Amino acid sequence: MLVGVCFSFLCTAVIIPRLGRIAEANNSSSNTTKRRDVIDGLLEAYKNIAGCFISVDLLVSSLLPGLEFLEKDIKELDPDKMVRGQL
């Protein structure tokens, strides 16, 4: 039980806000190769937080903006990922 509580706190207080900031920074990077690598990492990270409880505030302030930046990057750099259903 304690592990679940700790993971939930870590996820909401640290991981999700940080993913949003990484996605935003990646969106403005000029290094295309690095951006592609970060896209892959962000996709995996967002998939792995699927079990976390996410409040409406966290959803609006961090999760959705981060996913929007990620979507922009994918559409620009690897639009086939959208078609392949890797989102």
Q: Where are the domains of the chain?
A: 2-84
- Measured between alpha carbons, how far is 25 from 19 in angstroms, rounded to an integer? 10
pLDDT in tens, 33-79: 999 999 999 999 998 887 777 889 999 999 999 999 999 999 999 88
Is 30 buried (19+), middle (13-18) or exposed (0-12) by CB count in 10 A?
exposed
What pLDDT, on a 0 to 100 scale, did the predictor assign at position 55? 87
- Measured between alpha carbons, how far is 50 from 46 in angstroms, rounded to an integer? 7
What pLDDT, on a 0 to 100 scale, did the predictor assign at position 54? 84
On the CB side of 66, CA atoms within 13 Å amount to: 22
Give the amino acid at 44: E
CA neighbor of 86 nearest in space, from 41, 25, 31: 41
